[in-house]
Amino acid sequence: MILASRSPQRRAILEQLGFEFEVVVPDVEELEDGDPREMVVENALRKMRAVPGDFVLGVDTTVVVDGVSYGKPADEAEARATLELLSGRTHEVWSGIALDGRTAAACTEVTFRRLGEGLIEWYLDSGEWRDRAGGYAIQGRGAALVERIDGDYWNVVGLPVPTLLDLLA
Amino acid sequence: MILASRSPQRRAILEQLGFEFEVVVPDVEELEDGDPREMVVENALRKMRAVPGDFVLGVDTTVVVDGVSYGKPADEAEARATLELLSGRTHEVWSGIALDGRTAAACTEVTFRRLGEGLIEWYLDSGEWRDRAGGYAIQGRGAALVERIDGDYWNVVGLPVPTLLDLLA
């Protein structure tokens, strides 16, 4: 299998499961809005198609609040604004996967704790918001931001494991 | 803070959050059945009290199916029986925490995929079932067993982070 992604989290999940795979970083233009399911599946397909090979896995993940998608914040101010928006409420995390031409999508609801100014500062200072859809990493310090999740945890980290296993089965 | 636990998972979670702490392994006799909430809180208190110091954190976690608690499997046969029991259904994971005399508990619902014989063999071969309540580690290869969770993910790993942060607040 070839993982068409630059994400270290996705690599770590596949390693944790004992998969053997290579990594090739795809160079694609991604959709940034639209229906979340259609968007992440289309982006996953674009990544898959951008990498030559027989068994290529493309993945795309986005954070959705009030129907609006939030990708990776451009800077700390944007990360702060996103965390303030997510504070004390539930948002959706959508991932699309594409493997060998077949596609699937997963959605997990994530409920944030009420984030005080101090906690947001502490989190932004860690720099963990960089390169993360929605500006947080649930598997890192971001654990302190999250009250509960409903659905697949690994989807929030960046790769929906049960969805991938179903696609492989 | 002193973490009164031998669990490497609990240590890793506190490190991930940036806590400074020591570890002291408590030597206590634990309850093994009874009402889940009362049991894990009582066990957490026993661990806390077994370690001298001012700011000692005791934690206990159990897996509950049909009102019956499942701790660490004694051997591979018991791990197999537990995984077969959990296959294709929802169970509860309960953790109790005790810190500085105050206590709290958390419950997360975990839904397993339908586990075929091959997947159970693959999982047992990894040895990951050892020393894990319910015979699986959601943060390891056990990710392949779980379809969804409803509640706090870290509670399933072994330390309910939002519950701890609420107790500290």
What's the pLDDT tens digit per position in A136-156? 999 999 999 999 999 999 999
The average pLDDT across A159-168 equals: 95
Residue B18 with chain A: CB contacts under 8 Å:
126, 141
Active-site hit among A27, A35, A54, A60: A60
Question: Is there a contact between B147 and A165 if contact means CB atoms under 8 Å apart?
Answer: no
pLDDT in tens, A94-127: 999 999 989 999 999 999 999 999 999 999 999 9
pLDDT of A101: 85
CA of B158 to nearest chain A CA: how many angstroms apart? 13
Residue B108 with chain A: CB contacts under 8 Å:
148
Query: Does residue A12 register a pLDDT over 90?
Result: yes
Cα–Cα distance, A92 to A61 (Å, whole number): 10
CA of A50 to nearest chain B CA: how many angstroms apart? 28
- Rounded (5°) CA angle B150-A143-B48: 90
- Could you say which of B138, B144, B147 has the minimum Cβ distance to residue A17? B144
Count of C-beta atoms within a 10 Å radius of residue A169: 8
pLDDT in tens, B68-96: 999 999 999 999 999 999 999 999 999 99
pLDDT in tens, A14-57: 999 999 999 999 999 999 999 999 999 999 999 999 999 989 99
Which residues are within 8 A (CB) of A166 and not within 5 positions of it... i.e. 6 or more apart? A104
Mutate: best of B90, B148, B150, partner A, most A CBs <10 A: B148
Q: What is the interface size between A and B, counted as CB pairs within 8 Å?
A: 68
- Torsion angles phi and psi, residue A3, rounded to 5: -90, 115
Strand, coil or helix: A20: coil
| Residue A45: its H or E element | helix A36-50
CA distances B93 to B34, B71, B111, B158, B160, Å, are: 14, 11, 11, 9, 10
Q: What's chain B's average pLDDT?
A: 96
What ipTM was estimated for this complex? 0.90
pTM value? 0.93
Based on the residue annotation, tell me whether A166 is a catalytic residue of this protein.
no
Q: What is the pLDDT along chain B (169 residues), one digit of tens a residue?
A: 999 999 999 999 999 999 999 999 999 999 999 999 999 999 999 999 999 998 999 999 999 999 999 999 999 999 999 999 999 999 999 999 999 989 999 999 999 999 999 999 999 999 999 999 999 999 999 999 999 999 999 999 999 999 999 999 8
Question: Is there a contact between A162 and B147 if contact means CB atoms under 8 Å apart?
Answer: yes
Residues facing residue A105 across a β-bridge: A96
Question: Is there a contact between B161 and A151 if contact means CB atoms under 8 Å apart?
Answer: no
- Could you say which of A16, A143, A152 has the minimum Cβ distance to residue B16? A143
pLDDT of B101: 85
- Could you say which of B13, B141, B148 has the minimum Cβ distance to residue A16? B141
Count of C-beta atoms within a 10 Å radius of residue A43: 23
